[in-house]
């Protein structure tokens, strides 16, 4: 029987990147077969940054630099800010034709940038490791320039399937992050893995001086079954329509916030 996730506040475990430093965990290979998700995320970023260009950009927790090359379209200088040395080592090869992309070892709650140094910051697929992102949001607010922008991706617990499940059970959606790790991995020695309520995240961002400017619902068709029979081109065409249309309902498993400082 599949175990239900524990719906209670999750302790903020010790910050570490052990999973991504483990030689048996190759995050580059993780993206094999996830072309739809990768393209959907790029589509969302393009939408949110349309018509904008920046002097400096930082991709926080960007792994091996998957999105750094893409961000070069929108910024003169891009920095990969990553807590895992193994991912930075992989990035050295992945970004070999892009020497202008800096690679720096740092944690999201201790960004090694000066106050107001960054005009654009992205943090994609990081929030699911942050039960309490208040320190990270404070750092993002600190390093962003006046009127700077950040794109924050949130692993969304309030997606359509969970809404339906809770409605059928007569239960409200939790406001606190939900630990979705299996029982054997639900220990303080394991890296956190949570889903968030987007409404709570909006309040946390506001507390850090970050105002949500736009919202998109992303990876709306994320399904192994759909991938088997639906061409990726068709999936992405539908995704393009759904991202803004379903944004206000937080339909998809991933929500992208464009936030602005000040």
Tell me what pLDDT residue 186 has.
Answer: 75
Alpha-carbon distances, residue 206 vs 58, 88, 194, 201 (angstroms): 21, 31, 21, 9
d(CA 235, CA 226): 8
Q: What is the pLDDT of residue 62?
A: 96
Q: Give yes or no for a contact between 118 and 145, defined as CB atoms under 8 angstroms apart.
A: yes
Local structure of residue 249 (DSSP, 8 states): G
Token output for 150: 């950040």
Q: What is the pTM of this model?
A: 0.91
CB-based contact 203:212 (threshold 8 Å): no
Element (H, E) at 183: none
Read off the DSSP letter of residue 64: T
DSSP 145: E
CB 259 within 8 A of CB 210: yes
| Angle, alpha carbons 242-244-250 (nearest 5°) | 80
How do residues 48-101 score in pLDDT, each as one tens digit? 999 999 999 999 999 999 999 999 999 999 999 999 999 999 999 999 999 999
Q: In b/e form, how buried is each residue of 19-32, taking b as 16+ CB within 10 angstroms?
A: ebeeeeeebeeeee
- Sheet containing 102-105: order of strands: 102-105, 75-82, 54-60, 118-123, 144-155, 254-261, 210-218
Give bridge partners of residue 259 from the DSSP assignment: 150, 212
Distances (CA, A) of 70 to 37, 38, 62, 165: 15, 11, 12, 37
Q: Residue 156 is encoded by which pair of tokens?
A: 């969304």
Structural domain boundaries of the chain?
18-261
How many helices (H) and strands (E) would you count in the chain? Answer: 10, 9
Residuewise pLDDT in 10s, the chain (262 residues) = 444 444 444 444 445 566 788 777 788 888 999 999 999 999 999 999 999 999 999 999 999 999 999 999 999 999 999 999 999 999 999 999 999 999 999 999 999 999 999 999 999 999 999 999 999 999 999 999 999 999 999 999 999 999 999 999 999 999 999 998 877 767 776 788 999 999 999 999 999 999 999 999 999 999 999 999 999 999 999 999 999 999 999 999 999 999 999 7
Which CATH number is associated with domain 18-261? 3.40.50.150
CB 88 within 8 A of CB 41: no
Two tokens at 259?
A: 């936030």
Q: How far apart are CA 91 and CA 101, in angstroms?
A: 10
Q: For a pLDDT cut of 70, what percent of the chain falls above it?
A: 92
At 25, is the secondary structure helix, strand, or coil?
Answer: coil
């Amino acid at each position: 029987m599949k175990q239900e996730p524990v719906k209670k506040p999750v302790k903020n475990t010790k910050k570490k990147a052990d999973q991504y430093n483990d030689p048996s965990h190759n995050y580059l290979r993780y993206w094999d077969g996830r072309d739809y998700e990768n393209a959907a995320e790029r589509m969302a970023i393009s939408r949110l940054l349309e018509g904008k260009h920046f002097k400096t950009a930082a991709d926080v927790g960007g792994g091996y630099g998957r999105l750094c090359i893409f961000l070069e379209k929108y910024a003169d200088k891009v920095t990969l800010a990553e807590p895992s040395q193994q991912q930075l080592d992989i990035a050295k090869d992945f970004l070999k034709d892009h020497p202008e992309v800096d690679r720096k070892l740092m944690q999201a709650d201790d960004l090694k940038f000066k106050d107001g140094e960054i005009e654009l910051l992205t943090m994609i697929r990081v929030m699911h490791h942050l039960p309490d992102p208040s320190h990270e949001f404070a750092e993002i607010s600190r390093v962003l320039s006046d009127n700077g922008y950040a794109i924050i991706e949130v692993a969304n617990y309030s997606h359509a399937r969970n809404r339906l499940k809770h409605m059928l059970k007569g239960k409200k959606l939790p406001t606190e992050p939900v630990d979705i790790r299996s029982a054997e991995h639900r220990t303080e020695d394991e890296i956190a893995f949570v889903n968030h309520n987007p409404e709570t995240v909006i309040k946390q961002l506001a507390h850090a001086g970050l105002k949500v400017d736009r919202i998109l619902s992303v990876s709306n068709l994320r399904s192994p079954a759909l991938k088997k029979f639906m061409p990726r081109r068709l999936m992405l065409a539908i995704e393009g329509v759904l991202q803004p249309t379903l944004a206000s309902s937080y339909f998809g498993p991933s929500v992208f916030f464009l936030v602005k400082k000040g």
